[in-house]
Amino acid sequence: MATIGIIGGSGLYQIEGIRKVKEVSVKTPFGAPSDKFITGELEGVPVVFLPRHGRGHRISPSEINYRANIYGMKKLGVEAIMSVSACGSLKAKYKPMDFVIPDQFLDRTRKGRIDTFFTDGIVAHAAFADPVSGEIADILEKAARSLRLRVHRGGTYVNMEGPQFSTKAESNLYRSWGMDVIGMTNLTEAKLAREAEISYATLAAVTDYDCWHPSHDSVTLEMVIGYLNKNVANAKAILKIAIGEAGKLKRFSAAGAMKFAVMTNPAVIPARKKKELGLLIGKYIK
């Protein structure tokens, strides 16, 4: 049975119902993950849970060690990740308390987040035209609909820098581009998950209309947290169903994603990098 990873965003710091719970500290070549990983079983499926911002929400979106988080998931045997995140809506049809399962991302980060494992003597180009794994998105959508929750399939997630919310000029610009929702974390995770050959999909919980909407003259943390807390229970209910289904999958679309991605001649890849990335590409590079 497949092992499924859960990355919890703002408001989602623990998952009830996990059996055989263990807290696991994972060492990575890229430093420390956001927190200890929680392993166990949910609906009979092996799961690995990590709070993205750490318990107590102490790590800013720009300061998250995304590489360590994804590497840790890989080290613990995760084959697919369901990422739960708060987001702002850029379209009237996505209302607070709705869920969106985007299928595209747009990068608006600017602080040099490291979003690849392949640096310092090795180059790899992963295919990323379709950044979301359809089989996981399908399961999340079906689970939400079975609970009669409002869920929207598809659309583009703008990954802004943060930690500040948007200006009205930014919000209206993204709307003019036809973007759908906005958040601060998921694109970086999706890129690294692809390089780790882990299928990835986002369950985005709408907490506000960003600041473009007449009713949202400014987005406040109080507003965001209010809707978020209401939606956390729904997100957990979706996950409980979705994980049970994902665990049954025999094939994941991200498997083999890096087979032909490494461009560097193996003879010149530093031995240190071969060792560091052995978990990810050892089967391809000798």
Q: Which two tokens stand for residue 116?
A: 């690849």
Could you give the angle at the alpha carbon of 75 between the alpha carbons of 272 and 9, nearest 5°?
115
pLDDT lower than 70: segments of the chain: 9-14, 216-221, 223-224
Catalytic site includes residue 208: yes
| 265 located within any domain | yes
Catalytic position from the list 107, 180, 208, 217:
208
| 235 located within any domain | yes
Catalytic position from the list 35, 107, 210, 217:
210
Spatial separation of the C-alpha atoms in residues 101 and 109, rounded to whole Å: 21
| 180 located within any domain | yes
Q: Which domain holds residue 135?
A: 3-281
Spatial separation of the C-alpha atoms in residues 286 and 266, rounded to whole Å: 7
Q: Which two tokens stand for residue 126?
A: 């992963």
At 46-88, the pLDDT tens digits run 999 999 999 988 999 999 999 999 999 999 999 999 999 999 9
Q: Which two tokens stand for residue 49?
A: 């849970």
| 273 located within any domain | yes
Task: CATH number of the domain at 136, please.
Answer: 3.40.50.1580
Nearest Cα neighbor of 68 from 279, 263, 251, 265 is: 279
pLDDT of residue 224: 67
| 286 located within any domain | no
Could you give the angle at the alpha carbon of 240 between the alpha carbons of 236 and 245, nearest 5°?
140
**Number of domains present in the structure of the chain:** 1
